[in-house]
Structure 1
Amino acid sequence: MKILMIEDNESVCSMVEMFFLKEGIEGEFINDGLKGYQRYKDGEWDLLIVDWMLPNMDGVTICRKIREQDKDIPIIMLTAKDSESDQVLGLEMGADDYVTKPFSPLALMARIKAVSRRTRGVQKNNEENRNHYLETQMFKISKETREVLLNGEHITNLTPKEFDLLYYFIEHPRQVFSREQLLERVWGYQYYGDERTVDVHIKRLRTKIGTAKQPFLHTVWGVGYKFDESVVEDEA
């Protein structure tokens, strides 16, 4: 695996580099946002790790610019910002996942492995299920083309992780999943104390595909979430 890490804290880079060597990962570390973005364009990478706060070009801008060129390369964002609005912004700009500083290198490695497994799985499914669409009464969704149609209209503003989450729900209609289950099955890692990432994605998906009357992603109080195309009935 070949990973580009754009991070201006040299001690963080040194720590991560030790774990990369242990895992047999080829890592390259750039301490400047603009230089890191240029290096991304000049090389071929399996995954990117991008810090939010960087000199000369911030991580959110890097994510946005990369997603204009490549919809599929996995991006993990490192951030000291932990508010929901900051997380939404990073995810909206195209990050697949985020890790809040300070972080455990073991947790970061678990995220890297999970994202890599997901990417390989998508590629394998694309080869095995070429031109295959998963269809419901209202949705038509393809893993190969990453297309989503709702009542025949294309939904084009989903981030990669929002697409993965929606696809998983559509694969399992009306089945209720806890946040921990969704983290494990969609993100690919065990619960590390950050269930909020699921809530953020659910909230964003509802605004993009649903309405108050028909949210598609329903909260099952005390349990989790489920996909259901039925309309919410008015209370008497």
Structure 2
Amino acid sequence: MKPVVLVVDDDTAICALLQDVLSEHVFTVSVSHTGQEAISRIEGEPDIALVVLDMMLPDTNGLRVLQQIQKLRPALPVVMLTGMGSESDVVVGLEMGADDYICKPFTPRVVVARLKACCDGLARWRLMRRKTPGCHSMAGISIPFAANCIVRYNNMSS
């Protein structure tokens, strides 16, 4: 089954482009044009595996949506895809919990590669959690005792 990506952007042309490009690869794409619609979908559709989120939405700021997603589904990866590309914008987005930050304009191949990498990282994390029953987790840090290492994943807690 293909991972479901929720694209949250009010720009219909960007949504159509991402839907076409991501559907050609390994993703099923769902689209929301407002922050509230996205939150409702995330609450009601547990099969959403990844969110691509614009910063400037008609009803709210993307960072507020990011915070709500973190409360609802802390392990759900969120990739910001936005025209706000200053260094401080990128740093704030990542510090607020985004798993990646892509600035517009973008190339479709780069977006696909980065989303695949994000999904691969999540799959590795889930596999590690399944294989290491002797694991202590706290504040987004997992200590798998058998692996003799400490692993920290953004937005992913046990």
TM-score by length of 2: 0.82
CA 1:77–1:143 in 2, change beyond 3 Å: closer, same or farther?
farther
SS in 1 for 2:105: coil
CA 1:143–1:111 in 2, change beyond 3 Å: closer, same or farther?
farther
CA 1:121–1:39 in 2, change beyond 3 Å: closer, same or farther?
same
Deviation of 1:92 after TM superposition, in Å, equals: 2.3
Determine if contact 1:6/1:33 at 8 Å carries over to the other structure: yes
Q: Which amino acid aligns with 1:3?
A: V
Structure 1 residue runs of 4+, over 6 Å off? none
Q: Which amino acid aligns with 1:61?
A: R
Q: Which residue of 1 aligns with 2:80?
A: 77
Determine if contact 2:85/2:103 at 8 Å carries over to the other structure: yes
Determine if contact 1:92/1:159 at 8 Å carries over to the other structure: no
Q: Which amino acid aligns with 2:63?
A: V
Q: Which residue of 1 aligns with 2:154?
A: 160
CA 1:159–1:92 in 2, change beyond 3 Å: closer, same or farther?
farther
RMSD of Structure 2 on Structure 1 (CA): 2.2
CA-to-aligned-CA distance 1:192-229 (integer Å, 9 cap, x gap)? xxxxxxxxxxxxxxxxxxxxxxxxxxxxxxxxxxxxxx
Segments of 5+ residues of structure 2 without an aligned counterpart are 145-151
Segments of 5+ residues of structure 1 without an aligned counterpart are 134-140, 145-157, 164-236
Determine if contact 1:122/1:143 at 8 Å carries over to the other structure: no
Q: Which residue of 2 aligns with 1:168?
A: none
1:104 maps to 2:98: no
Structure 2 CA distance for aligned equivalents of residues 101 and 143 of structure 1: 37
Q: Which has the higher contact order (CA 8 A, sep 6+)?
A: 2
Q: Which amino acid aligns with 1:10?
A: T
CA 1:159–1:129 in 2, change beyond 3 Å: closer, same or farther?
closer
Q: Which residue of 2 aligns with 1:116?
A: 119
Deviation of 1:60 after TM superposition, in Å, equals: 0.6
Q: Which residue of 1 aligns with 2:19?
A: 17
Determine if contact 1:126/1:143 at 8 Å carries over to the other structure: no
CA 1:143–1:48 in 2, change beyond 3 Å: closer, same or farther?
farther
Deviation of 1:21 after TM superposition, in Å, equals: 2.2
Over the matched positions of the two proteins, sequence identity in percent amounts to 28
CA 1:71–1:84 in 2, change beyond 3 Å: closer, same or farther?
same
Q: Which amino acid aligns with 2:93?
A: G
Q: Which residue of 1 aligns with 2:147?
A: none
CA-to-aligned-CA distance 1:6-33 (integer Å, 9 cap, x gap)? 0111111111111122114211111112
CA-to-aligned-CA distance 1:161-197 (integer Å, 9 cap, x gap)? 7x8xxxxxxxxxxxxxxxxxxxxxxxxxxxxxxxxxx
SS in 2 for 1:68: helix
Q: How many residues align?
A: 143
Structure 1 CA distance for aligned equivalents of residues 123 and 153 of structure 2: 18
Bigger-Rg structure (1/2): 1
Q: Which residue of 27, 30, 33 corresponds with 1:28?
A: 30
Structure 2 CA distance for aligned equivalents of residues 69 and 28 of structure 1: 18
